């Protein structure tokens, strides 16, 4: 497969070039440039995938969360982040290129995937036998699974434990819990804390890295509100840190935090710091989808649901 061509793929290439630049220039202030192997480990992806994200000649589109994490880990310029986000969103909309088999291709021109399909496919005269065997195995598996499931249920009930179905997280607002944000957290936990600290007047950089400076700012905030100054953002600190946002109260950095979290949940939201009618509609959409009262107001229940709806936490 060749690299992207044509104007519709320029965003993919431009994103790869930007990510490559971040990586190449990450060796500064006495810090060595990380190897792709170590960088891939921090991102939670394999090295081959990372190599494609960083290769402008034959690139693959890096997901938005990976782009943001690269920006944080490589300490890329803050001014690059809006452009990187825009390129990631534009690149994600570009359909993947395929290599279709020509219509006039001869049987001998089959691709490796076609060849694999030919090898795996059973011969016509054996299909009936194969299907019968599979059906028999399915019946055995189903019966064994039912028996095993019932025995597990009975065992848990005998120990006073909850039914198996109760082990799943409940849906709706009741499932929302305040997450714990602490030193070493990256991306959404760190950014949300930093944006809200800024909204409260604390001079902390929103770089997506919950480091020493952010922990110190959290301690100062906690002490000012009579909380345990441990530098960790738990339920009590969140309840003081969040800000109710509506058309009459919309501090810019608090709105940025709200828009950032909304956008991360898949509810398309422009991050402008202005509580626009568009943001209100996005908020309504999120509240409706989570079974919350549709008020268009960012109240504590909505903040808690937003935080609970983010992706996996990343800690360094």
pLDDT single digits (tens) 112-140: 444 333 334 444 444 555 555 555 555 44
Residue 223 lies inside a defined structural domain of this protein: yes
Mean pLDDT is lowest, of 4-8, 14-18, 67-71, 228-232, for 4-8
User: If we measure between CA atoms, which residue out of 194, 197, 180, 211 comes closest to residue 316?
Assistant: 211
What does the pLDDT read at residue 75? 80
Residues 301, 196 share a domain: yes
Integer Cα distance of 137 and 145 in angstroms: 12
Residues 308, 189 share a domain: yes
Interval 188-207: pLDDT, tens: 999 999 999 999 999 999 99
The domain tally of the chain equals 2
pLDDT reading at 19 higher than 60: yes
What does the pLDDT read at residue 295? 95
> Contact 193/218 with Cβ under 8 angstroms?
yes
Residues 311, 208 share a domain: yes
Residues 78, 196 share a domain: no
pLDDT reading at 26 higher than 70: yes
**How many CB atoms within 10 Å of residue 220?**
16
What does the pLDDT read at residue 110? 43
Interval 204-262: pLDDT, tens: 999 999 999 999 999 999 999 999 999 999 999 999 999 999 999 999 999 999 999 99
What are residue 185's DSSP bridge partners?
315
Average pLDDT score over the chain? 77
Residue 261 lies inside a defined structural domain of this protein: yes
Name the most confidently modeled range: 25-34, 64-73, 96-105, 203-212: 203-212
At which of 57, 92, 127 does a domain end?
92
Per-residue CA distances from 215 to 53, 78, 182, 227, 244 (Å): 32, 20, 7, 14, 23
Residues 190, 80 share a domain: no
Residue 127 lies inside a defined structural domain of this protein: no
Residue 202 lies inside a defined structural domain of this protein: yes
Q: CA 208 from chain center: how many Å?
A: 14
Residue of higher predicted confidence among 69 and 195: 195
Sequence-distant (≥ 6) Cβ neighbours of residue 184 within 8 angstroms = 210, 315, 316
Residue 117 lies inside a defined structural domain of this protein: no
pLDDT reading at 1 higher than 60: no
Averaged pLDDT, 265-275: 92
Rounded percentage of the chain residues whose pLDDT exceeds 90: 41
pLDDT reading at 286 higher than 70: yes
Residue 158 lies inside a defined structural domain of this protein: no
Q: For residue 49, give the CATH number of its domain.
A: 1.10.260
At which of 70, 92, 114 does a domain end?
92
Tokens read off for 289: 């989808």
Residues 300, 194 share a domain: yes
Residue 242 lies inside a defined structural domain of this protein: yes
At which of 92, 125, 156 does a domain end?
92
Tokens read off for 16: 């790869």
Integer Cα distance of 202 and 200 in angstroms: 6
What does the pLDDT read at residue 199? 97
Integer Cα distance of 135 and 117 in angstroms: 22
DSSP alpha helix (H) spans, 243-276: 252-264
Residue 126 lies inside a defined structural domain of this protein: no
Please identify which residue in the block is written with the tokens 């793929």. 9
Integer Cα distance of 203 and 210 in angstroms: 14
| Contacts by residues 204-213 (CB-CB < 8 Å, ≥ 24 positions apart) | 205/78, 206/253, 207/72, 207/75, 207/78, 208/68, 208/69, 208/71, 208/72, 209/72, 209/316, 210/181, 210/182, 210/183, 210/184, 210/185, 210/186, 211/183, 212/183
What does the pLDDT read at residue 30? 64
Query: The domain containing residue 296 runs over which residues?
Result: 185-315
């Amino acid at each position: 497969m060749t690299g992207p061509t044509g104007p519709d793929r320029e965003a993919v290439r431009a994103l790869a070039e930007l990510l490559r630049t971040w990586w190449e220039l990450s060796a500064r202030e006495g810090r060595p440039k990380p190897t792709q192997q170590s960088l891939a480990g921090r991102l939670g992806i394999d090295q081959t995938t990372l190599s494609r994200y960083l290769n402008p000649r034959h690139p693959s589109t890096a997901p938005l969360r990976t782009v943001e994490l690269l920006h944080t880990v490589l300490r890329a310029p803050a001014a690059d982040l809006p452009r990187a986000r825009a390129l990631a969103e534009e690149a994600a909309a570009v359909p993947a290129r395929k290599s279709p088999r020509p219509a006039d291709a001869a049987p001998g021109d089959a691709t490796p995937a076609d060849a694999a399909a030919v090898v795996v496919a059973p011969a016509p005269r054996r299909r009936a036998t194969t299907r019968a065997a599979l059906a028999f195995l399915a019946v055995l598996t189903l019966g064994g699974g039912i028996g095993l499931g019932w025995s597990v249920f009975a065992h848990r009930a005998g120990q006073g434990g909850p039914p198996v179905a109760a082990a799943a997280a409940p849906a709706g607002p009741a499932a929302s819990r305040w997450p714990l944000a602490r030193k070493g957290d990256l991306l959404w936990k760190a950014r949300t804390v930093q944006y809200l600290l800024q909204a409260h007047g604390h001079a902390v950089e929103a770089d997506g890295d919950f480091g020493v400076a952010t922990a110190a700012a959290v301690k100062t905030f906690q002490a000012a509100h009579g909380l345990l100054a441990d530098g960790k953002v738990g339920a009590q600190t969140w309840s003081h840190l969040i800000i109710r946002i509506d058309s009459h109260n919309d501090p810019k950095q608090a709105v940025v935090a709200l828009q950032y979290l909304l956008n991360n949940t898949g509810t398309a939201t422009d991050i402008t710091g202005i509580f626009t009618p568009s943001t209100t509609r996005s908020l309504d959409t999120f509240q409706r989808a989570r079974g919350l009262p549709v008020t268009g107001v960012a109240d504590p229940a909505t903040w808690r649901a937003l935080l609970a709806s983010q992706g996996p936490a990343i800690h360094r």
